Amino acid sequence: MRARAAAIGLLGATACAAAIAAACFGGDSSGGDGTPTPDASVPATPPEEVLRLYVDRRLFAGFVADCADAKRPDDIGKQCATRVAERDGLLAYELGPTFSEYTRLIILKPVGDTWTIEHLEERNANEPPPPGIPWPIQIGADLVVAGTAPDCLRIRDRAGLRGGEVTCIDDGIVVTVVSGPVEVDGLEWWQLEGYGWAAGTYLRYPEEAATPTPEDE
């Protein structure tokens, strides 16, 4: 089990126009002259701009904001993005070479008037990832073990690969997170109620975990 993550922060001025308008005009969403006031909860910077900066500064490549808009031959050799999901204000994107399989999964988080990379992991076509989006894990969340078959998720008595193995639980088992994360051996470890410590790589929110239907069994 491997997890790779990176974080990039982009500084920006925090917009306060909406707060001022609310104080002066009560519940009116306009600026007094009928002009709608921008929603302060939505970053002014487009999320694709943050991805463009990442591609430019880290991958040294051109960027197409939407893979569906890539055109041959002009965009050959560039990187492109596809938005695949949204959860609690977070956005998940697949990023990779145009006209090819994606090679990175990136989750963006709103911060002020811009976005920051909350989670980034590289994808290897020879090592299929667990199903679903690896949204950030919250303490108290009920999660499902997913993507370990034909193996199982090894539970240890302490965080880290050197922890003693106490049990191994199969895909589909629901677990509750009681503490964490603890970063050891390049992995994020979470304590699971009634079990022990496990790496978060194979833990998913229930709606993200692919569960077999009777027709599949």
In the chain the domains, ranked by start, together with CATH numbers, are 1-129 (no CATH), 130-217 (2.30.30.40)
Dist. CA 172–CA 144, nearest whole Å: 6
The H or E element spanning position 25 is helix 17-25
- Burial, 6: exposed, middle or buried (Cβ in 10 Å; 0-12, 13-18, 19+)? middle
Torsion over CA: 111, 112, 115, 117 (sign):
negative
Q: How far is CA 94 from each of CA 81, 108, 157, 162, rounded to the nearest angstrom?
A: 6, 11, 35, 33
The average confidence (pLDDT) of the chain is 84
SS3 category, 216: coil
Strand order in the sheet with 196-199: 165-169, 153-156, 196-199, 187-192, 174-184, 142-145, 203-204
**Residue 22 has what pLDDT?**
32
In this predicted model, what pLDDT tens digit does every residue of 177-199 receive, in sequence order?
999 999 999 999 999 999 999 99
Dist. CA 199–CA 44, nearest whole Å: 35
In this predicted model, what pLDDT tens digit does every residue of 3-62 receive, in sequence order?
333 333 333 333 333 332 333 233 444 445 554 444 557 899 999 999 999 999 999 999
Dist. CA 183–CA 137, nearest whole Å: 13
In this predicted model, what pLDDT tens digit does every residue of 103-148 receive, in sequence order?
999 999 999 999 999 999 999 878 888 999 999 999 999 999 999 9
